[in-house]
Structure 1
C-alpha cells in the first residue's frame, strides 16, 4: 500500500504519533493535514525535555521528510522558532516542507483568541489563533503560506483581515495593529521558509506514482471534527479521513488504507460531552498511570471508560480498514474494567452518539475481568494475558472493527502487530 491515512477515533491524544512512527519506518513522506497548533508534543533532546506545538518533531528527529499540508493554519514565526530549537539541539535530522496553500495565523488572530480565553475563563489549552485564521480563510481574506513571497498581495489580504476583525478587536479591548509591520515580519518569515514551500498535493501524488509510501496523519480526533463531532465543542477543521483529501490536495482514490487510532480508554481535554466519563478512584488512577496531563496547562485530562459507540461511529464516518489500540498497559491491575457498549437517551437505546441530547445520555456499561500481568514485554498477541485478549476481542465484537496493532508501552518497540494493517 502506498498512501495510508491515520486518524484519531476519539477526542484526540490517542497516541497517533507512535502509530505513525511505526507505519513510517519505510515511508518517503509523513504529512499532517489539519489543525496547526496542538496541545504539545514532548521530545527529549540533549537530556532536555522540549515541547513542540507546530512541528512533527518526533518524525523530524527520526530523519523523516515531513509535510505541513494545505489544510493547516500555521504561525510562521512559531514554526521558525521551533525549527531553530530543534536544530540547536541537533535533533533536526529530517526535512520539513510546507504547502503553499496552508493558511497563515496572523498576530491579531492570536490576540483575538487570547482575549477570548481571558473573557471566557477558558480552562483548556490556550487557543492560538487557528480558529480566527480559518474564519478568514472561509471569508476569502486569509493569507496563505505562498503569499508570504508576494508582499504586495499579502498587504491587501492583511488589510482586509484587519478591517474585518476591527470590531472584534475593539470589542475585546484591543488596539488594531498597523498593517506594514505585520507584512514586513511575515515577508521576512517567507524568505526563511522559501526553500521549504512546495505544492504538497503534487509532492504526495508524485511519490504515490513511484509506489513510495506516504503516511498522512490527522490532527486531534474524529469527535472534535467540525462537521462530525459534538458541535459546538469542535475545532475549526476537518479531522476525519475525508479531510485527508481536502487537507492535502489528493483525490479520495489515492488513499489506500485508513487506520483509526483509539486509546484503550477515552480522554478529553477541556469542556464538552464525554458520555462515558468516569469519576472517583478509577478516573484518578487512569490519569496517574496513563500520564494524562496536558503538556501546556499541566491540568489532568478527563478520563472515561472505553466507548464502543464512539468507535462504531468513527469507523462509519472514516471507513476504517483497521484500528490501532493504544495504552492497553495502563489498564493493568484493574480488577474489573467497565466498557460503554451503548447509551440510553429518553428511554431509547442508541448504538452511536446521537445528534441531540448529549447531556441526557446515560452510558450502558458491561464489565470485563482485568489482569495483573505487566504487558510491556509482550510482542505477540498470544503473549498477552487471556483477559487482556478478551478485552480486545469484546471491543472488536461489539464495534465491528478489527484491531490490528496494539500498543503496550511508550517505546516504539512495545507494539504488537496482530495483523499487518498495510
Structure 2
C-alpha cells in the first residue's frame, strides 16, 4: 500500500524530517511532484542537509527512492545534491531511481521564469526563479523534454528546437505593448552560456543514474507487497487548483497528485499524513490572513529560524489558521496529522488560533474563491501558552496540560487527530500522542 506525507499549509511545514522519521517503516520513498523550489531539511549525524529533489528517505540503508514523473527535474541541482549525499557514504546506484517521464528544467526555463517575474512589476507572485513554472507550462503545452529523451540520439536537436522557442519568448518579454523595452536584470547571453555548460555536464551525470519506467517500477514494488511512502513538496495551500491562486505553485501538491505523479491507482492509497506547524508561515507574495506584522510575528520568525531553506528569504509568520487547515484536510482526505515546531511556542504566554474569517461583515468557515479580492479578517480563540522547555520532553504524559488543550481543540475542530507532535529538529524529537 501507499501512504502519503504532504504539507497542509504554504510549505515549509517540516516534511523532510517527518519523511525521514517514518522512512524506516517503508521499502520505497517516492517524490510525486514539485521541483528544486522545495527544500526538505534533515539532520544527518548532527549535520544539516537540505534535499531539493532527492526523496528524504535516501539516508536509510536498504530503502529505494524514486523521483516520479510528476516532478520537474533540474539536472544541475540534482548533480550537486547527489555529490552532497554520496559524501555521507550513500550509494545512489543502489537506492535512487528516476522515472523516464520526468520533465527536465532547461537553462532557458530558468531565464523565462526570471523574465516573467520581472515583467510582472509590482504584481510579482514570489517565484523562486528555478524554472518550475515554465517547465510545467511546456509539459501541459506538450513541448517539454523528459528524462527519457536524454537517451535519444537526437536529444541535441530536440534541445535546440525547444531552446529556439524559448529565446523567442524571451524577446517578447523584453518588449512592452507600446514598443518600449522592459527595464530589469534579464538573462544575458554570457549568463545563459554558463548555465548551458553546467547543464550539459549535469546531463551526462544524470544519464549514469538509474532511469526507469516509473509506473511499472513502483507498481511492481506494490505487487511484491512493498510499502511505499509518497513524499509531497510545497503545501496544500499552494496547489495549482485549490491553493490561493494565482499565488500558487505549478503542480498539484495534494493527495490526488500522488496518482498522476507516480502512476498508481487511487485505491492503493491508505493513510494521508498531513504536516502542519504549530503556527503558520509563508514565503513570498500572496494572501495570509493570520500574518503578524508586529513583535510577535518577528519573535516567531527568530525562534523558529523562519528563513527559506531554498531561497534564504525571511518567512512571513502568523498564528495557525484552522479554516485553511480544515480545507486542506478536506481536499486531501487526511487521516492523521503531525504538528511540527511545537517547541517554537514555548516562550509565548498566549496563543491564538484562527477559527473563522470575517468577509464582507459576515463570519464564515469556508475558504473564499479569491483571497486577494476580499478583505479577510481572522476570528481568533485565545489559549494559554505552556511556558516550559518542551524540546526536552519525550513522552505524551509529560507534555504540559496547556499544550494538550491546544492540540485537543485542533483535533475537535478538524475532526482529524493530531497523532504526533514534533518538538525539535532532531530525528528523535517527535512524540506519539
TM-score by length of 1: 0.90
Write the distance in 2 (CA, Å) between the matches of 1:342 and 1:385: 27
1:321 lines up with 2:335 in the alignment: yes
SS, match of residue 61 in structure 1: coil
Tell me, which stretches of 5 or more residues in structure 2 are unaligned?
175-185
Tell me, which stretches of 5 or more residues in structure 1 are unaligned?
none
Cα deviation digits, residues 72-110 of structure 1 (max 9, x gap): 111113212321233245455772111100000111101
Specify whether residues 24 and 86 from structure 1 end up closer, same or farther in structure 2 by C-alpha distance, changes over 3 A only.
closer
Cα deviation digits, residues 7-52 of structure 1 (max 9, x gap): 1100000011121122211211111111111353455679875544
Residue number in structure 1 paired with 2:404: 389
Give the alignment of 1:162-177 within 5 angstroms.
162-171=163-172, 172=174
Specify whether residues 401 and 54 from structure 1 end up closer, same or farther in structure 2 by C-alpha distance, changes over 3 A only.
same
Mapped contact 1:149–1:190 kept (Cα < 8 A): no
Give the alignment of 1:240-389 within 5 angstroms.
240-358=254-372, 359-389=374-404
Write the distance in 2 (CA, Å) between the matches of 1:175 and 1:244: 38
| TM-fit CA distance, 1:175 | 6.7
SS, match of residue 382 in structure 2: strand
| TM-fit CA distance, 1:313 | 0.2
Specify whether residues 22 and 155 from structure 1 end up closer, same or farther in structure 2 by C-alpha distance, changes over 3 A only.
same
Mapped contact 1:344–1:364 kept (Cα < 8 A): yes
1:201 lines up with 2:215 in the alignment: yes
SS, match of residue 317 in structure 1: helix
Aligned residue pairs, count: 414
| TM-fit CA distance, 1:223 | 0.3
Cα deviation digits, residues 373-397 of structure 1 (max 9, x gap): 2212323322210000000011111
Specify whether residues 140 and 381 from structure 1 end up closer, same or farther in structure 2 by C-alpha distance, changes over 3 A only.
same
SS, match of residue 108 in structure 1: helix
SS, match of residue 327 in structure 2: helix
Mapped contact 1:60–1:92 kept (Cα < 8 A): no
Mapped contact 1:109–1:130 kept (Cα < 8 A): yes
Aligned alpha-carbon RMSD (Å): 2.7
Residue number in structure 2 paired with 1:62: 60
Residue number in structure 2 paired with 1:225: 239
Residue number in structure 2 paired with 1:415: 430
Residue number in structure 2 paired with 1:212: 226
